[in-house]
């Protein structure tokens, strides 16, 4: 029982991280129907950006105090990711706005490879995993059920920040003028233009928001696992995409639920399914295939959004 | 006997006239950023082109580097002597000389599309000068290396660069003509001889490109730049030939003699071991290219013909390889049996094909981007499972090593052969086998493309709903594309297992799928030579540019982005392909920015 | 110089020229109609005027300024609103949100609220169901919302593409009455219609577009009386009420 609950907790923590990345996928896909493969790398870049700030630009005395280090790293990671995402949109995707569908998808693959390699080549020591400083109260508390369920404080932070940001974003999209413009652009770009909305600006905004959230996720990931490597983007990016599809693409709430489900599948699959943790990734891909084949509109998607 | 027509179909008016003569160079009236200088230069275009050509040649014979640096263990490694030596008419000096001479000759003659041809030549000179100049600057320790800083006048690269730029600018100012269309028809035997000469030239050129600069790395410090410089010069020459319309014409001639061309090309490919590339090293490189080319052709069926993006394709190569490895009698395989190689190839292909059908089955319900993700997921499941040594079949991290060589009787394929006085290098049999395999795969692809099935695939690619409405049973036909593509990869995989003697899950990761996809796209989707060309480029470049090994993938990623931006149809554009990637840029320009392409009614 | 001047407009979709030479004027305060058969190029013309398409050649001047190269959102900023063919509402948003999107470029919250109320006054049915999703409304109600949305930017020139399409005769009459009301309030209206009879009846000036060219022009009454128009566009049953 306590193992089961521990795995549930682990799943939710990992899942809320995935959810944060998934939001970027789902928003970009909602607006320009592009699977932005490089989004996983934006997440990775955010982690390295946060780490670089802490390592090279902030005095160690400051880094040693988590209540300084955490906000600095989060903001730095978010900024770096946001800038990279916006630059990527501007220079790689925007010129292909009217191109046939395969072109941006392949471009995304290229951007993904290039970003990963750029970090590997230019970040000192990035050829191997790099230790990441803990950015929150260390330790854990124990819920006394069975043998005890250990909950790390960092994990709590992960869940609170992720769900908080997701909730805030949802409010932003539902309630504000810019949020309305985003929804309008995603529903009907031409008519949005007739309303005086500049789609390019909305698209940039979308990339910026998605990038910032991915950057935050990157820093949280580093702080949670205590080391980062350049492969983290690809794998988690695919998980996040799966989460976005699960929840119904274009839907922020769906992305969050999808992320949590992915986290649970991974934690429980690794615990209880044959093959153990060596195959936990495989189960996620199996879920992805099943969902895409049998319910491509996801949990929350409206059937009209099923794409050709 | 000769008639020159223009290939301008950009406006509806001209398209109606089937045959036109080449217009005199259109009055140059330039708009845009360089309009002023270009218009001023226009009356002097001819002089400008000649001056550019002369400058290029002069530049070629100046010294290109001022000083000889000595650093590091290899004196040759750190010196730039090759660039100082002014009189050796080889390498880049020869190339620039030839391009410069051609520039002068073409500029003075009355040739159709003169300015366009000269521009191609000028671009070649410019590229060669820039590459070598950059190289010297970087290796020689700064800009001082290409000036006169230590008293040695070494303006070679600068003069050649100026020559190239003057050529390009003058040619552009003179007004670029449409590419002429040649309609010569010669006696069949003359055309045969011509094709024979052309193909032999291509063979020699391929051997030259392959071996230029040697094996690279420590052996020859100049390997990278020699190779790139040759490529740049060839690109210039190619652009000029293309502008003259002669390439198109040769293409048409070979089209008229299809069978002859195919046979001669095959013979030429088989003759590669007899050229300068006939060493064990190059045979190995060429065989590797062959494996990936065969796989890329298979992928081309799925992506290029049927328009189904497969991001996990390399898994089929892996499945073929692991099947072969397990049936090879290798000590590490759990199935301790040895099956004859030809049978192994068939079994590998069948197994890969079955998996192909399984991976392809979601196409019944999933389309477009989502399908790409499903294939990616299958690919990842394969890699993960192989990594975990699933059912003991893949060896996991230990791989399956020591796979025996393919043998014919007592002759093993990695041994060398003596043909009378000629000693052919080891590995030549693998090369021959892979050439035959690639040829067979090309034959399959070519026949499929022009078959009922191929037309059905293309119809699905262009518009699946319309295809279904026309009565094409899209479901089975799409699965068939996956099945056939996977079988071809399975064949290649079996071959791969024996040739490299080790099969590890690591060779079949996502990045390999992307590389194969890039090969198909770079070469030109849906075309037969495209996949081979793309695979060759993507697997030769890393061999040649070892000193950039660290940047390889970075450059690869950026190259993908740039290709999609500037030449999405690839090097060899499919004539019939319109909808997916090749888009008339003029059409796009007329839509306002941000307009969706769905507006066409 | 007229309020809106279109000269020799040519618009192409790829190699296909949908508009091959359209010229017309719209004077301030008038209702001007473009009539013509399906596929004549009317909608393409409007889409070009509002900046959704770029012309191959030709000019569009609005109040003396050439606008044919401006992006759509800037053209709207100049005071040209376009209610597109097929209404193109944001179906998954509420009535109120659709209206607010119509006022996207405006920042004066009080004015926006007042104008939303004005639309509700104009079309009470919208006011009654302001929180309902636009996709749930009937064709006529959707058309009201589309016009209301276009009005929210306080346009100087309102372009309506086929406002009567798919509507019952009563609803059509209601829409056209509204158009007349708008003119009375000083809004200039450019109307594209297949229902030539109804459109010509209220137009100050009208143009016939045929195969991508303007072929005839005159006041609404003149064109109604023109035998060529009668034969081609007012044949028995077409537009009759």
Residue A204 to residue A82: CA distance in whole angstroms: 10
Considering only A267-276, C1-10, C116-125, which range has the smallest mean pLDDT?
A267-276
Residue of C nearest to B589 (CA): C54
Q: Which of B586, B591, B472, B449 is nearest to B524 (CA)?
A: B449
Residue B575: the pLDDT is 64
Whole-model pTM: value is 0.83
Please give, rounded to a whole number of angstroms, the shortest distance from the CA of B591 to a CA of chain C: 5
Do A298 and A249 contact (CB within 8 A), yes or no? yes
Residue A302: the pLDDT is 57
Of C13, C52, C56, nearest to B600 by CB-CB distance is: C13
Q: Is B559 in the A-facing interface, judged by CB distances under 8 Å?
A: yes
Q: Is C133 in the A-facing interface, judged by CB distances under 8 Å?
A: no
CB atoms within 10 A of CB A308: 9
List the beta bridge partners of residue C218. Answer: C206
- Higher per-residue pLDDT: B586 or B288: B288
Taking all residues of chain B, what is their mean pLDDT, rounded to a whole number? Answer: 80
Check CB contact under 8 Å for A194 and C76.
yes
Residue of C nearest to A304 (CA): C92
Residue B140: the pLDDT is 72
The pLDDT of residue B550 is above 50 = yes
Task: State the burial class of residue A168 (Cβ atoms within 10 Å of its Cβ: 0-12, 13-18, 19+).
Answer: exposed
**Quick one: C32 and C145 in the same domain?**
no
Task: Tell me if residue B187 falls in helix, strand or coil.
Answer: coil
Check CB contact under 8 Å for B369 and A112.
no
Residue B227: the pLDDT is 85
Do B319 and B351 contact (CB within 8 A), yes or no? yes
Residues of C in contact with B594 (CB under 8 A): 71-72
The DSSP secondary structure of B345-398, one letter per residue, reads HHHHHHHHHHHHHHHHGGGGT--HHHHHHHHHHHHHHHHHHHHTTGGGSS-GGG
Q: What is the mean pLDDT of residues C124-143?
A: 90
Q: How many CB pairs under 8 A join A and C?
A: 61
Check CB contact under 8 Å for A190 and C50.
no
Distance of CA C38 to the CA centre of its chain: 16
Check CB contact under 8 Å for B556 and A113.
yes
Residue C21 to residue B599: CA distance in whole angstroms: 20
> Residues of chain B with pLDDT > 70: what percent?
84
The pLDDT of residue B601 is above 70 = no
H/E run at residue A158: helix A153-175
Q: How many domains does chain C have?
A: 2
The pLDDT of residue B579 is above 50 = no
**Quick one: C145 and C38 in the same domain?**
no
- Name the token pair of B288: 């590797």
What domains can you pick out in chain B, each with its CATH number? 36-259 (no CATH), 277-583 (1.10.3470)
Q: What is the mean pLDDT of residues B29-40?
A: 70
Residues of B in contact with A26 (CB under 8 A): none
Long-range residue pairs from A118-127, CB within 8 A, at least 24 positions apart, any chain: A118/B554, A119/A44, A119/A45, A119/A48, A119/A230, A120/A230, A121/B550, A121/B551, A121/B554, A123/A48, A123/A52, A126/A48, A126/A229, A126/A230
Tens of pLDDT along C35-60? 988 888 899 999 999 999 999 999 99
For B:465-504, CB contacts with A below 8 A are: 465
H/E run at residue A150: strand A149-152
Q: Which of A248, A242, A292 is nearest to A15 (CA)?
A: A242
Q: Best interface-test mutation with C: which of B8, B10, B578, B592 has the largest number of C CBs within 10 A?
A: B592
**Which chains sit next to B, with 3 or more Cβ pairs under 8 A?**
A, C
Q: pLDDT-based confidence at B16, cuts 50/70/90?
A: very low
Residues of A in contact with B376 (CB under 8 A): 238
Q: What is the mean pLDDT of residues C99-125?
A: 92
What is the ipTM, given to two decimal places? Answer: 0.90
Check CB contact under 8 Å for B591 and C53.
yes
Residue A88 to residue A72: CA distance in whole angstroms: 24
Tens of pLDDT along A96-122? 988 877 788 889 999 999 999 999 999
Considering only A21-25, B75-79, B254-258, which range has the smallest mean pLDDT?
B75-79
From residue C39, alpha-carbon distances to B495, C17, C215, C230 in Å are 59, 11, 15, 19
Q: Best interface-test mutation with C: which of A31, A174, A195 has the largest number of C CBs within 10 A?
A: A195
Q: What is the mean pLDDT of residues B356-360?
A: 92
Domain end residue (candidates: C154, C182, C197):
C154
Residue B87: the pLDDT is 61
**Quick one: C150 and C163 in the same domain?**
no
Q: Is B392 in the A-facing interface, judged by CB distances under 8 Å?
A: no
List the beta bridge partners of residue A142. Answer: A150
Do A45 and A242 contact (CB within 8 A), yes or no? no
**Quick one: C69 and C161 in the same domain?**
yes
Q: What is the mean pLDDT of residues C16-40?
A: 90
The DSSP secondary structure of chain C, one letter per residue, reads --SEEEEEEEEEETTEEEEEEEEEEE-TT-EEEEE--TTSSHHHHHHHHTTSS--SEEEEEETTEE-TTS-HHHHHHHTEEEE-TT----TTSBHHHHHHHHTTT---HHHHHHHHHHHHHHSHHHHHTTTSBGGGS-HHHHHHHHHHHHHTT--SEEEEESTTTT--HHHHHHHHHHHHHHHHTT-EEEEEES-HHHHHHH-SEEEEEETTEEEEEE-HHHHHH-HHHHHHHS-TTTT--
Q: Is B551 in the A-facing interface, judged by CB distances under 8 Å?
A: yes
**Quick one: C75 and C32 in the same domain?**
yes
**Quick one: C161 and C238 in the same domain?**
yes
Check CB contact under 8 Å for C76 and A177.
no
> Residues of chain B with pLDDT > 90: what percent?
22
For C:12-71, CB contacts with A below 8 A are: 50-52, 71
Walk along chain A (308 residues) and give the pLDDT tens digit of each residue.
Answer: 788 888 999 999 999 999 999 999 999 998 988 889 899 999 999 999 999 999 999 888 888 888 889 999 999 999 999 999 999 999 999 999 888 777 888 899 999 999 999 999 999 988 899 999 888 888 888 888 878 888 899 999 999 999 999 999 999 999 999 999 999 999 999 999 999 999 999 999 999 999 999 999 999 999 999 999 999 999 899 899 889 988 888 889 999 999 999 999 999 988 888 877 888 888 888 888 888 888 877 777 654 433 32
**Which chains sit next to C, with 3 or more Cβ pairs under 8 A?**
A, B
CATH of residue C205: 3.40.50.300
Q: Best interface-test mutation with A: which of C94, C101, C142, C152 has the largest number of A CBs within 10 A?
A: C101
For residue B425, give the DSSP letter.
P
Do C23 and C9 contact (CB within 8 A), yes or no? yes
Task: Tell me if residue B69 falls in helix, strand or coil.
Answer: coil
Q: Is B590 in the C-facing interface, judged by CB distances under 8 Å?
A: yes
Of B384, B521, B595, nearest to A279 by CB-CB distance is: B384
Do A87 and A220 contact (CB within 8 A), yes or no? no
Residues of A in contact with B383 (CB under 8 A): none
From residue A226, alpha-carbon distances to A40, A218, B53, B76, B588 in Å are 19, 11, 62, 47, 49
Domain end residue (candidates: C127, C154, C181):
C154
Of C13, C15, C71, nearest to B592 by CB-CB distance is: C71
Residues of B in contact with A101 (CB under 8 A): 368-369, 580
Please calculate the CA angle B238-B242-B243 and round it to the nearest 5 degrees: 120
The pLDDT of residue C123 is above 80 = yes
Distance of CA B217 to the CA centre of its chain: 22
For B:345-374, CB contacts with A below 8 A are: 362, 365-370, 372-374
Q: Best interface-test mutation with C: which of B11, B588, B590 has the largest number of C CBs within 10 A?
A: B590
Tokens 């043909």, located at residue: B419
Do C33 and C199 contact (CB within 8 A), yes or no? yes
H/E run at residue B91: helix B91-108
Please give, rounded to a whole number of angstroms, the shortest distance from the CA of C178 to a CA of chain B: 30
**Which chains sit next to A, with 3 or more Cβ pairs under 8 A?**
B, C
**Quick one: C146 and C177 in the same domain?**
no
Q: What is the mean pLDDT of residues C59-88?
A: 92
CB atoms within 10 A of CB B561: 24
**Quick one: C54 and C122 in the same domain?**
no
Residue of B nearest to C68 (CA): B592
H/E run at residue B6: strand B4-6
Please give, rounded to a whole number of angstroms, the shortest distance from the CA of C100 to a CA of chain A: 8
**Quick one: C74 and C166 in the same domain?**
yes
The pLDDT of residue B590 is above 60 = no
Residue B507 to residue B503: CA distance in whole angstroms: 8
Distance of CA B195 to the CA centre of its chain: 21
The pLDDT of residue C152 is above 90 = yes
Considering only B158-162, B193-197, B224-228, B582-586, which range has the smallest mean pLDDT?
B582-586
Tokens 């010129």, located at residue: A95
Residue of B nearest to A275 (CA): B388
- Higher per-residue pLDDT: B391 or C186: C186
CB atoms within 10 A of CB B473: 10
Residue B21: the pLDDT is 42
Residue of B nearest to C50 (CA): B592
Q: Is C107 in the A-facing interface, judged by CB distances under 8 Å?
A: no
In sequence order, what are the residues at sequence separation of 6 or more whose Cβ sits closer than 8 angstroms to the Cβ of residue B550? A121
Considering only B294-303, B485-494, B544-553, C136-145, which range has the smallest mean pLDDT?
B544-553
The pLDDT of residue B44 is above 60 = yes
Residue B227 to residue C229: CA distance in whole angstroms: 72
The pLDDT of residue C219 is above 60 = yes
Residue B471 to residue B80: CA distance in whole angstroms: 67
**Angular region, C224: left φ>0, alpha ψ -120 to 50, beta rest:** alpha
Q: Is B521 in the A-facing interface, judged by CB distances under 8 Å?
A: yes
Residue B186 to residue B129: CA distance in whole angstroms: 39
Tens of pLDDT along B209-223? 888 776 655 556 677
Of C14, C18, C53, nearest to B587 by CB-CB distance is: C14
- Higher per-residue pLDDT: B364 or A261: A261
Check CB contact under 8 Å for C53 and B595.
yes
Check CB contact under 8 Å for B587 and C54.
no
Please give, rounded to a whole number of angstroms, the shortest distance from the CA of A58 to a CA of chain B: 29
Q: Which of B355, B305, B378 is nearest to B486 (CA)?
A: B355
Considering only B199-213, B538-552, B574-588, which range has the smallest mean pLDDT?
B574-588
Of A96, A116, A293, nearest to B565 by CB-CB distance is: A96
Considering only B9-13, B246-250, B533-537, which range has the smallest mean pLDDT?
B9-13
Residues of B in contact with C11 (CB under 8 A): 590
Range of the domain at C222: 1-79+155-241
Residue C156 to residue A24: CA distance in whole angstroms: 39
Residues of A in contact with B384 (CB under 8 A): 278-279, 281-282, 285
List the beta bridge partners of residue C193. Answer: C35
Chain A residues within 8 Å of chain C (Cβ atoms): 177, 180-181, 183-184, 187-188, 190-198, 302
**Quick one: C174 and C218 in the same domain?**
yes
Check CB contact under 8 Å for B600 and C14.
yes
Biggest CA-to-CA distance, chain B: 79
Task: State the burial class of residue B208 (Cβ atoms within 10 Å of its Cβ: 0-12, 13-18, 19+).
Answer: middle
Residues of A in contact with C96 (CB under 8 A): none
């Amino acid at each position: 029982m306590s193992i089961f609950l521990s795995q549930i907790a682990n799943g939710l923590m990992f899942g809320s991280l995935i959810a944060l990345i998934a939001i970027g996928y789902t928003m970009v896909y909602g607006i320009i129907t592009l699977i932005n493969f490089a989004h996983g790398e934006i997440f990775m870049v955010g982690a390295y950006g946060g780490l670089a700030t802490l390592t090279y630009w902030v005095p160690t005395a400051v880094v040693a105090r988590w209540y300084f280090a955490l906000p600095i790293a989060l903001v730095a990671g978010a900024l770096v990711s946001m800038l990279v995402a916006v630059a990527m949109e501007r220079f790689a995707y925007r010129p292909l706005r009217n191109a046939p569908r395969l072109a941006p998808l392949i471009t995304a693959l290229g951007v993904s490879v290039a970003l990963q390699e750029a970090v590997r080549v230019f970040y000192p020591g990035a050829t191997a995993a790099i230790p990441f400083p803990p950015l929150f109260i260390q330790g854990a508390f124990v819920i006394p059920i069975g043998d005890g369920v250990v909950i790390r404080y960092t994990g709590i932070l992960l869940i609170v920040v992720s769900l908080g940001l997701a909730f805030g974003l949802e409010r932003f999209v539902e309630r504000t003028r810019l949020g309305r413009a985003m929804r309008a652009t995603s529903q009907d770009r031409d008519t949005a233009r007739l309303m005086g909305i500049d789609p390019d600006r909305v698209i940039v905004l979308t990339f910026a928001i998605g990038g910032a959230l991915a950057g935050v996720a990157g820093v949280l990931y580093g702080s949670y696992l205590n080391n980062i490597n350049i492969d983290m983007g690809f794998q988690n990016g695919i998980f996040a995409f799966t989460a976005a599809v699960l929840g119904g693409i274009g839907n922020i709430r769906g992305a969050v639920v999808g992320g949590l489900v992915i986290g649970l599948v991974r934690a429980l699959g690794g615990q209880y399914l044959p093959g153990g943790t060596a195959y936990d990734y495989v189960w996620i891909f199996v879920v992805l295939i099943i969902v895409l084949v049998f319910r491509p509109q996801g949990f929350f998607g409206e059937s009209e959004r099923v794409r050709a | 006997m000769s008639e020159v027509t223009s290939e301008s179909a950009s406006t509806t008016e001209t398209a109606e006239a089937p045959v036109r003569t080449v217009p005199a160079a259109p009055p140059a009236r330039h708009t845009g950023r360089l309009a002023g200088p270009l218009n001023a230069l226009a009356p002097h275009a001819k002089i400008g082109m000649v001056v550019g050509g002369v400058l290029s040649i002069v530049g070629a014979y100046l010294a290109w580097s001022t000083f000889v640096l000595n650093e590091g263990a290899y004196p040759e490694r750190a010196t730039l002597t090759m660039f100082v030596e002014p009189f050796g008419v080889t390498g880049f000096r020869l190339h620039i000389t030839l391009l410069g001479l051609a520039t002068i000759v073409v500029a003075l003659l009355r040739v159709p599309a003169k300015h366009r041809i000269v521009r191609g030549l000028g671009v070649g000179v410019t590229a060669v000068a820039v590459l070598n100049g950059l190289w010297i600057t970087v290796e020689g320790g700064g800009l001082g290396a290409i000036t006169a800083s230590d008293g040695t006048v070494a303006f070679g690269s600068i003069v050649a660069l100026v020559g190239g730029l003057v050529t390009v600018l003058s040619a552009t100012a003179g007004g670029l003509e449409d590419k002429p269309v040649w309609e010569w028809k010669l006696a069949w035997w003359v055309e045969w001889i011509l094709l024979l000469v052309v193909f032999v030239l291509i063979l020699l050129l391929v051997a030259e490109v392959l071996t230029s600069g040697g094996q690279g790395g420590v052996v020859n410090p100049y390997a990278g730049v020699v190779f790139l410089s040759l490529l740049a010069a060839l690109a210039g020459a190619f652009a000029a030939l293309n502008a003259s319309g002669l390439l198109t014409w040769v293409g048409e001639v070979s089209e008229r003699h299809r069978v002859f061309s195919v046979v001669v090309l095959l013979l030429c490919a088989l003759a590669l071991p007899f050229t300068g590339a006939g060493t064990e090293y190059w045979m190995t490189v060429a065989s590797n290219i062959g494996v990936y080319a065969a796989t890329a052709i298979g992928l081309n069926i799925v992506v290029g013909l049927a328009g189904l993006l497969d991001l996990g394709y390399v898994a089929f190569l892996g499945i073929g390889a692991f099947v072969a490895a397990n049936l090879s009698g290798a000590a590490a395989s759990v199935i301790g049996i040895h099956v004859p190689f030809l049978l192994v190839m068939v079994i590998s292909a069948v197994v890969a094909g079955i998996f192909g059908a399984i991976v392809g089955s979601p196409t019944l319900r999933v389309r477009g981007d989502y399908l790409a993700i499903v294939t990616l997921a299958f690919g990842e499941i394969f890699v993960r499972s192989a990594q975990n040594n699933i059912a003991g079949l893949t060896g996991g991290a230990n791989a399956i090593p020591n796979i025996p060589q393919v043998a014919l009787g007592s002759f093993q394929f990695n041994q060398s052969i003596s043909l009378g006085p000629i000693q052919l290098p080891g590995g030549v049999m693998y090369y021959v086998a892979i050439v035959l395999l690639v040829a067979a795969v090309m034959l399959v692809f070519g026949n499929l493309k022009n078959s009922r099935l191929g037309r059905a695939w293309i119809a699905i690619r262009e518009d699946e709903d319309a295809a279904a409405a026309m009565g094409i049973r899209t479901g089975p036909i799409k699965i068939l594309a996956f099945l056939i593509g996977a079988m071809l990869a399975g064949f290649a995989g079996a071959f791969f297992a024996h040739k490299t003697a080790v099969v590890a899950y690591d060779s079949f990761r996502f990045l390999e799928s992307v590389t194969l996809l890039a090969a198909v796209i770079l070469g030109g989707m849906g075309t037969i030579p495209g996949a081979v060309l793309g695979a060759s480029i993507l697997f030769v470049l890393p061999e040649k540019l070892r000193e950039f090994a660290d940047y390889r993938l970075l450059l690869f990623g950026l190259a993908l982005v740039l290709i999609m931006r500037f030449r999405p149809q690839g090097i060899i554009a499919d004539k019939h392909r319109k909808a997916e990637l090749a888009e008339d840029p003029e059409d796009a320009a007329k839509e306002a920015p941000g307009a969706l392409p769905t507006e066409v009614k | 110089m007229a309020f809106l001047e279109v000269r020799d407009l040519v618009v192409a979709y790829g190699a296909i020229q949908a508009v091959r030479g359209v010229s017309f004027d719209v004077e301030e305060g008038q209702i001007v109609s473009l009539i013509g058969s399906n596929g004549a190029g009317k909608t393409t013309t409007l889409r070009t005027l509002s900046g959704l398409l770029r012309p191959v050649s030709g000019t569009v001047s609005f109040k003396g300024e050439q606008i044919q190269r401006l992006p759509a959102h800037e053209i709207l900023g100049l005071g040209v609103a376009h209610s597109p063919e097929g209404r193109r509402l944001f179906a998954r948003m509420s009535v109120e949100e659709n209206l607010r999107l119509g006022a996207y470029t405006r920042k004066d919250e009080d004015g926006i609220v007042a104008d939303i109320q004005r639309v509700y006054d104009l079309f009470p049915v919208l006011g009654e169901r302001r929180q309902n999703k636009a996709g749930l409304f009937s064709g006529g109600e959707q058309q009201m919302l589309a016009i209301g949305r276009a009005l929210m930017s306080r346009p100087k020139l309102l372009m309506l593409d086929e406002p009567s399409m798919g509507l019952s005769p009563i609803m059509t009459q209601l829409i056209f009455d509204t158009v007349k009301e708008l003119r009375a309030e000083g809004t200039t209206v450019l109307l594209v219609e297949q229902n030539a009879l109804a459109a010509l009846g209220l137009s100050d000036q009208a143009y016939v577009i045929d195969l991508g060219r303007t072929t005839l022009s005159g006041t609404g009454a003149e064109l109604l009386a023109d035998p060529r128009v009668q034969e081609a566009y007012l044949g028995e049953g077409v537009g009759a009420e």
